[in-house]
Amino acid sequence: MDRLDFYAIRPAGLDAYLSYYGYHFSPAMARWAVEQMRPRNGGRMKMMDKEAVEKMLTDREIDFRDAKGHDLVYLANMIVADRWGSSVRDEDQLALAIKDEMDDPDGYEGMAFSRYLADCNAKGVPIVWEDMI
C-alpha cells in the first residue's frame, strides 16, 4: 500500500517534490505549512525557524542528527500551535515534545510529513507542489 493512496490522481508536481525531498518537509513546504497553522490563542503563527529549533534542542542536549529536511521546523511550530499554553508551557517542554515525536517507537520514516499530507487531504487543502520545491 502506498501512503499516498488517498489521492485518486496524484497532483502535478508531487512526484518531483518527492524525488527531491522524499517524505520530508522542504524549507518552502515547512514555511507554507506553518502559515496555515492557527495557534490555540488565535491570531497568526510567528514561525520558529530551523536555526532557532536546532539551538533550542542543542541547548537541552537533545540529539536531532537523524532529523531530515525541515521536519523539525514543522514539528516545533505544530506543537506550539496545538499545545502551547496547555500541555506545553515552556521551551523545555516544547523540546521534549519534539523529541517524543522524533523518537516515537511506533513511528516511521517521514511520519510528520505523511500525516500532514493526510490532514491537508482530509480538509481539502490543495498544495501547489511546484511552489514547494
Q: What is the pLDDT of residues 45-83, one digit of tens each?
A: 899 999 999 999 999 999 998 899 999 999 999 999 999
Residue 6 reports pLDDT greater than 80: no
Residue 1 reports pLDDT greater than 70: no
Distance between CA atoms of residues 30 and 63, nearest Å: 21
Digit-coded pLDDT (tens) for 14-51: 999 999 999 999 999 999 999 999 998 788 889 999 99
Backbone angles phi and psi of 88, in degrees to 5: -120, 120
Distance between CA atoms of residues 68 and 92, nearest Å: 22
